[in-house]
Amino acid sequence: QVQLVESGGGLVQAGGSLKLSCAASGSIFAIDAMGWYRQSLGKQREVVAVITSGGTTSYADSVKGRFTISRDNAKITVLLQMNSLKPEDTAVYYCYADHVYGRLWGQGTQVTVSS
């Protein structure tokens, strides 16, 4: 069974940077969009960034100019570079990949930004 495996979360001070990585553990055909959501305690899951198979990106207003999403189609990997982190970025971050059979989700990785 194919899974998305995330890494790169952790604890960082405000103003710092983290890079999240999400890679497929097996082969997945016809991957379309990939991206990241996050969920803070007591809040609904929200989209953070999305990248299409053609490389078009979109971001939540709250992270524009600070976060950068990228992907490697050959390795079925999506990355999220997070700079100038703020305490309000604290959340569990989930990656996903859309393919012909539906949507795959990663297990989530905790990002904590201290003030």
Percent of the chain with pLDDT over 90: 84
Mean pLDDT of the chain: 94
Q: What is the pLDDT of residues 48-101, one digit of tens each?
A: 999 999 999 999 999 999 999 999 988 889 999 999 999 999 999 999 999 888
What Rg do the C-alpha atoms of the chain give, in angstroms?
13
Is the pLDDT at 27 greater than 90? The verdict is no
Compute the average pLDDT of residues 25-51: 91
- What span, in angstroms and rounded, lies between the C-alpha atoms of 82 and 72? 18
Supply the pLDDT for residue 101: 85
Interior CA angle at 66 toward 56 and 94, to 5°? 70
